[in-house]
């Protein structure tokens, strides 16, 4: 399958932000998947995930969610990079993040005829938290959230935890965690699972006993090939069953 890859600009409220876009050649009417970055920006790993989704037959788009603070932000995985990425994470606002995701959805709808009712979202690290938040949007039919820390303790720029918004989730959500993750305890995973169950949300929680934070990223020392292979298959199943069947 021939994949087109390019940088585009999307409208997020009154702000224009860049995004990385990948899609099959001649894509029209395909489901859309919004890809949410780690704290390290829309870097090679996030672009690769976006490309892989496009190769599965989706229009995939990764908005630069740090653009208001640091246009074009993209760093490596060193300690200084992590500190800077966390600084910008702390400067985000939930309302702006959701507006960026809505802007990506509108872009896909206007330029490729992507059905509004067939939108997915996937996010990693801080993006995993943002993806859980994005799942509360009525447009989002399927969400894959990877090791999103802080879901049970805060909402970006606000006080009430994102977990409290679980009853607003209308689509399906799969969440992926490594049990060796120092940033997310087993208790927090249990709280997320309990909230989803109590709210009647269609969900699956995947726990990988030997995996740590960032296990899906092959650019990081914590990469776990076995966990990644299984998780990717589950992601493909989720998007196939929800975005292509309904």
Distances, alpha carbon 129 to alpha carbons 15, 37, 210, 227, in Å: 23, 10, 21, 19
Checking if the pLDDT of 141 tops 70, the result is yes
Checking if the pLDDT of 192 tops 70, the result is yes
**Contact (Cβ atoms closer than 8 angstroms) between residue 146 and residue 183:** no
Q: Which two tokens stand for residue 226?
A: 């076995």
The whole-number pLDDT of residue 218 equals 95
Residue 180 — pLDDT band, cuts 50, 70, 90? very high
Average pLDDT, the chain: 96
Checking if the pLDDT of 246 tops 80, the result is no
The whole-number pLDDT of residue 27 equals 81
The whole-number pLDDT of residue 35 equals 98
Q: What are phi and psi of 155, to 5 degrees?
A: -120, 135
The answer to whether the Cα torsion of 15, 16, 17, 19 is positive or negative is: positive
pTM score, two decimals?
Answer: 0.97
Positions marked catalytic: 125, 181, 213
In whole angstroms, give the CA distance from residue 5 to residue 154. 35
Q: What are phi and psi of 100, to 5 degrees?
A: -65, -40
The whole-number pLDDT of residue 159 equals 78
Higher pLDDT among residues 61 and 1, named by residue = 61
The residue-averaged pLDDT of 75-98 equals 96
The residue-averaged pLDDT of 146-174 equals 96
Q: Which two tokens stand for residue 36?
A: 């949410």
Residue 63 — pLDDT band, cuts 50, 70, 90? very high
Q: For 24-34, what is each residue's pLDDT tens digit?
A: 998 889 999 99
Q: What are phi and psi of 197, to 5 degrees?
A: -65, -45
Sheet holding 32-36, edge to edge: 3-12, 15-24, 59-63, 32-36, 119-124, 140-146, 172-178, 203-208
């Amino acid at each position: 399958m021939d994949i087109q890859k390019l940088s585009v600009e999307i409208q997020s409220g009154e702000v224009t932000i860049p995004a990385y876009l990948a899609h099959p050649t001649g894509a029209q009417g395909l489901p859309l998947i919004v890809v949410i970055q780690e704290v390290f920006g829309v870097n090679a790993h996030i672009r690769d995930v976006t490309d892989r989704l496009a190769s599965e037959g989706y229009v995939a788009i990764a908005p630069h969610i740090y653009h208001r603070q640091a246009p074009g932000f993209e760093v490596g995985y060193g300690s200084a990079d992590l500190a800077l990425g966390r600084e910008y994470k702390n400067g985000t606002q939930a309302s702006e993040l959701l507006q960026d995701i809505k802007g990506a959805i509108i872009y896909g709808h206007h330029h490729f005829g992507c059905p509004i009712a067939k939108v997915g979202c996937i996010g990693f690290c801080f993006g995993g938290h943002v993806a859980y938040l994005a799942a509360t949007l009525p447009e989002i039919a399927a969400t894959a959230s990877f090791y999103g820390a802080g879901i049970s303790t805060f909402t970006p720029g606000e006080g009430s935890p994102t977990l409290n918004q679980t009853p607003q989730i209308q689509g399906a959500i799969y969440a992926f965690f490594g049990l060796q993750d120092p940033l997310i305890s087993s208790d927090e995973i249990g709280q997320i699972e309990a909230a989803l169950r109590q709210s009647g949300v269609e969900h699956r929680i995947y726990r990988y006993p030997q995996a740590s934070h960032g296990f899906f990223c092959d650019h990081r020392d914590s990469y776990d090939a076995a966990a990644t292979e299984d998780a990717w298959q589950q992601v493909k199943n989720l998007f196939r069953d929800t975005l292509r069947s309904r």
